[in-house]
Structure 1
Amino acid sequence: MKHYLDLLQQTIRENWDEPALSDYRGATLSFGDLAREICRMHILFEEAGISVDDKIALCGRNSARWAVTYFAILAYKAVAVPILSDFTPSSVAALTLHSDARLLILDRHIWKGMDQTSRLSLPDVMALDNGEVLRSASGLLPVALSRVDRLYEEQYRQGVCPGDVHFDTSTLDELCIISYTSGTSGSPKGTMLSARSISSNVAFARRLFPTRRGWRVLSILPLAHLYGLMFELMYPMLSGCRVTFLGAAPTPSVLMEALREVRPYMQLVVPLILEKIFRNKVFPALKREPARTLMRIPVVREVVFQNVRNGIIESFGGKIRHFIAGGAGINPEVERFMRRIKLPYTVGYGMTECGPLICYSDWHSFAEGSCGRVVDRMELRIDSSDPEHEAGEIQVRGDNVMLGYYKNTEATDAAFTEDGWLRTGDMGVVDADGNLYIRGCCKSMILGPSGQNIYPEEIEERLNAMPLVAESLVVGRRNGIVALVVADVDASRRTGDAEVERVMAENLKALNASLPAYSRVASIELRAEDFEKTPKQSIKRYLYE
């Protein structure tokens, strides 16, 4: 397994003049430009008193500049602390302090949103877009910036060339990333990931998804989240691909237009997006004439299926080879249809603490309803006396697993079993072929009246497939199990509130008829607003329990 920095220097050297990083409808940097910017930033870090293993926090929306800064931090052998730009300015300041960062590089609007107390608590701060000094606690940063151009010219008199690109790859065990998945106060969990974890994730992706020079990726998910960072930046770029950053959260129309222009070879999606495409467009179209009649003719039906598949791929730019879904399970009806039309999708399973991969399978061998098989250099076990039939906690160990939580020994100890396996907090079973099936989350599990284990996710899966239901969340209350439901907006507008309530009452009856008595839902509560989501578009369940 190659060190990811070894891949970075190899990719830069071999693709020097090829495009590497682009802002959507903005500037493009070649791999050579990336090398020059890394060299310039390394001079800045050294002059500003930044040492190897020092922490540098990075907070901003997705951009080529963010990616350049991130790779410069890692290649310097400092520790990158990516912070979600969606966090409040005060949370950004608090996490910067918790990480012991020597330098914070951030978008200017985040700095403007900080109160004076937060600003004065920070170390050196500079703007992500142009390097402007926003705060100089050490006094070194302004001087360093004034000297960078001269020192760069002296050190690289002939300019930076491929032979100048050399990074230290002597060890895989050093800390390289601290990732915070929550901006809440209290005891922050900064997941510490080693070069081994990052390199292992990249190596697996490169083996499973071989690429060609010039293939493109559209970066949509936050780069400060490991899912987007690994599979929309690190893996493709370290494979010689060109990454285009969409920037701010897109509207559906802007996203589809960008997909048509960029024409990515793969796309990370949350299951909800796929479900909406099929339930709002594909399924209704197939129920109308002449499609409805044509679907009854076997030979013609296959042509219809092929046209549906081609139409979906074309809407994502026409060159899609892989749809990669994660963050939640896919509705069974939608998944069966996607399998039927041979859409190249698969569902993975992971967590920040594994950088992020735990399970994944190529779509050709992917088992319906599963999350794939455990990835290379990882082991998985189910804490159950009968792992194939009785759900137990999913526990893992291997190269991808974190070093622990930064400055949080108590949380680190609680995350591992006595024999060294990481507790995922999720429940599942594994079939004879090694495919993992998620059954729920330990924390969300509801204890039934006679001690039965009730997994809300299984109830939600059924409810989400029912009429007018866009999303649902099942929680335990004193008066029993309650389903919180967000109704389909478009359908609700057409039918009216009274009809929505009538349909939900019917849904409740049908749902309970399919459930054991101990897990039946007492009531459905309609919500006017969408559920609050994580960067992976998973519902923040803890806010509603």
Structure 2
Amino acid sequence: MLGLPSRPTTLPALLRDAAERFGEHPAYVDGATVTSYAELLVRVETAAAAYVARGLEPGRAVAVWAPNSTEWAVAALAVTYAGGVLVPLNSRYTAHEVADVLTRTDAAIAVVADGFLGRTQIADLAGLGTTTQLVDLADLADDGTTPDHLAEARQRADAATPDDVADVLFTSGTTGRSKGAMSAHRQTIGVAQAWAELGGVRAEDRYLVVNPFFHSFGYKIGIVVGLLTGATLFPVATFDVDQTMRTIQDQRITLLPGAPTIYQSLLAAPSRSDVDLSSLRLAVTGAAVVPVVLIERMRAASPDGLGIDQVVTAFGMTEAVVVTMCREGDSAETVATTNGRAIPGMEIRIDGAASPTDEGELLVRGEHVMLGYLDDPEATAAAIDADGWLHTGDVGTLDEAGNLRITDRLKDMYISGGFNVYPAEVEQVLLRLDGVDDVAVVGSPDERLGEVGTAYVVGSATAQDVVAFARQRLANFKVPRHVTHVDALPRNLSGKVLKTQLRSS
């Protein structure tokens, strides 16, 4: 790597290394609770011993279903410390969605923030008949572990290897069936190190983590970046613009990566002029089209802008986390209209392009591309060819400097508020509603969220019925915001819905 010295290539060893290097330096500030790197190791070892006491065997999956918090980080890091495989779950998922993932991963334990957003997660899962052991996040370490359990956890941490599977993060495909992207310890650490180097992250940085820990960006580019650099993380459970601005001011936050909607919310906040945001030095955004004027305003000094010293965009996906990234010194035009150049350890090309600037499917290859999809060799073979190129399904171009510009998607996926939404999954759910004879979902432009779902429905179900049914079974960001009734969906001769016609209607 270019900037940071070589670090351990397993997560348990990296955690121990961070505790030794950074000691009493704050690792997490969560409300009034401050946890140092030395304390973080103690807490993780205690939680790892609790997993052992609860019967976790090496190689078994442990799911974490909770919002951002220090406790999330402890629970997650303890999984690999105890020899398990981490499966982060979207905190907005319904119990039905979580139960499906628990079954497919054969999860031994699910750690749950019961009561988050006023819900009854454990009761809901129990009601679905899950056989996975359910543990309230607040009670994880309160189970009377013994010194033998702690000794066993430490032995498992010692036994971890760089090529062991560390985590499985779920994405989806155009078929609507979610797929679990597997990463090894060396990959989870390697991509975090590349990102940290390009951002110049250091121990003095104070990192407000708005990106969810269950997402690869919050987990790998948040928690793992902290272990590598000694930066202090401030977890955000739910985004509130006024609270976020107060935290930036009061805690002198320096790092604020996030979706474009985060910065648009800050710029539009009526109370922005009442707070001091001048401590911000690095913002990394992407996941949606970024207007040039947004980058300019993010960089502009107050009162017109946010005054962020370094603003860059990046391109990534669950299967590779971070693929490309802009660099310090790139123009606002480059940052806003491209996703930057390939990061160290990765290479990109445009499939079938006769010249570098031709449009085609983006292919990705390198150290950080996933090991494959969990228990799905056919999907893995379809995604990664014999030469190791990951076929992203995104259409783009490369300029002469190697900057990537995404121009379209081969897949129907759209991005709402920074989260990928796969229409086929939503359609499968809606087709179970009485009164929906046929349905197609497409992404529609939205000023605040980038894109939101529009459901084109054939049948007698009302728009209210469609939305209510979806809310019961899908995370909020997947629920269509608009419902349009049509007599029939446009299809080609093979029966495929012509979604291009729907988007332009």
In which range does the TM-score fall when normalised by the shorter chain? 0.7 to 0.9
* Offset of residue 260 of structure 1: 1.6
Task: Please state whether the residue corresponding to 1:352 is helix, strand or coil.
Answer: coil
* One-letter code aligned to 2:145: V
2:134 is aligned with 1:125: yes
Corresponding residue for residue 524 of structure 1: none
Equivalent residues of 1:106, 1:128 under 8 A apart: yes
* Offset of residue 317 of structure 1: 3.4
Corresponding residue for residue 189 of structure 1: 179
2:21 is aligned with 1:31: no
Equivalent residues of 2:29, 2:232 under 8 A apart: yes
Structure 1 unaligned residues grouped into runs of 5+: 133-144, 157-163, 283-310, 446-455, 458-481, 490-528
2:124 is aligned with 1:111: no
2:253 is aligned with 1:264: yes
* Offset of residue 386 of structure 1: 3.1
Mapped to 1, the partners of 2:313 and 2:185 lie a distance apart of 25
Equivalent residues of 1:91, 1:183 under 8 A apart: no
Corresponding residue for residue 15 of structure 2: 8
Corresponding residue for residue 76 of structure 2: 70
* TM-score normalized with structure 1 length: 0.67
* Offset of residue 165 of structure 1: 11
Judged with a 3 Å threshold, the aligned counterparts in structure 2 of structure 1 residues 328 and 417 are, in CA distance, closer, same or farther, namely: same
Mapped to 1, the partners of 2:266 and 2:259 lie a distance apart of 12
C-alpha distance after superposition, 1:43-84 (max 9, x if no partner): 222233322211111111111111011111122231101111
Corresponding residue for residue 219 of structure 2: 229
Mapped to 2, the partners of 1:165 and 1:263 lie a distance apart of 40
Corresponding residue for residue 347 of structure 2: 379
Corresponding residue for residue 291 of structure 2: 331
Corresponding residue for residue 361 of structure 1: 326
Judged with a 3 Å threshold, the aligned counterparts in structure 2 of structure 1 residues 83 and 488 are, in CA distance, closer, same or farther, namely: closer
Judged with a 3 Å threshold, the aligned counterparts in structure 2 of structure 1 residues 487 and 535 are, in CA distance, closer, same or farther, namely: closer
Mapped to 1, the partners of 2:75 and 2:394 lie a distance apart of 34
Corresponding residue for residue 170 of structure 2: 180
> What are the residue-to-residue correspondences of 1:147-226 with 2, within 5 Å?
147-148=144-145, 167-168=157-158, 171-181=161-171, 187-226=177-216
Judged with a 3 Å threshold, the aligned counterparts in structure 2 of structure 1 residues 194 and 37 are, in CA distance, closer, same or farther, namely: same
Mapped to 2, the partners of 1:388 and 1:371 lie a distance apart of 16
Mapped to 2, the partners of 1:263 and 1:534 lie a distance apart of 33
Equivalent residues of 1:383, 1:393 under 8 A apart: yes
User: How many residue pairs were aligned?
Assistant: 417
2:312 is aligned with 1:346: yes
**Among candidates 434, 438, 445, match of residue 406 of structure 2:** 438
Corresponding residue for residue 319 of structure 1: 279
* Offset of residue 337 of structure 1: 5.9
Judged with a 3 Å threshold, the aligned counterparts in structure 2 of structure 1 residues 14 and 155 are, in CA distance, closer, same or farther, namely: same
Corresponding residue for residue 48 of structure 1: 54
Mapped to 1, the partners of 2:256 and 2:400 lie a distance apart of 30
Larger radius of gyration: 1
C-alpha distance after superposition, 1:199-221 (max 9, x if no partner): 21122123223344343111212
Corresponding residue for residue 453 of structure 1: none
Structure 2 unaligned residues grouped into runs of 5+: 1-5, 302-307, 416-441, 450-466, 483-498
Identity within the alignment, %:
24
> What are the residue-to-residue correspondences of 1:345-494 with 2, within 5 Å?
345-354=311-320, 356-365=321-330, 367-368=334-335, 369-444=337-412, 484=444, 486=446
Equivalent residues of 1:328, 1:538 under 8 A apart: no
* Offset of residue 383 of structure 1: 0.7
Equivalent residues of 1:217, 1:262 under 8 A apart: no
360-369 or 345-354, larger mean C-alpha shift: 360-369
Task: Please state whether the residue corresponding to 1:41 is helix, strand or coil.
Answer: helix
Mapped to 2, the partners of 1:408 and 1:352 lie a distance apart of 16
Task: Please state whether the residue corresponding to 1:388 is helix, strand or coil.
Answer: coil
C-alpha distance after superposition, 1:293-334 (max 9, x if no partner): xxxxxxxxxxxxxxxxxx99x957322221100111211343
* Offset of residue 389 of structure 1: 3.0
Equivalent residues of 2:241, 2:269 under 8 A apart: no
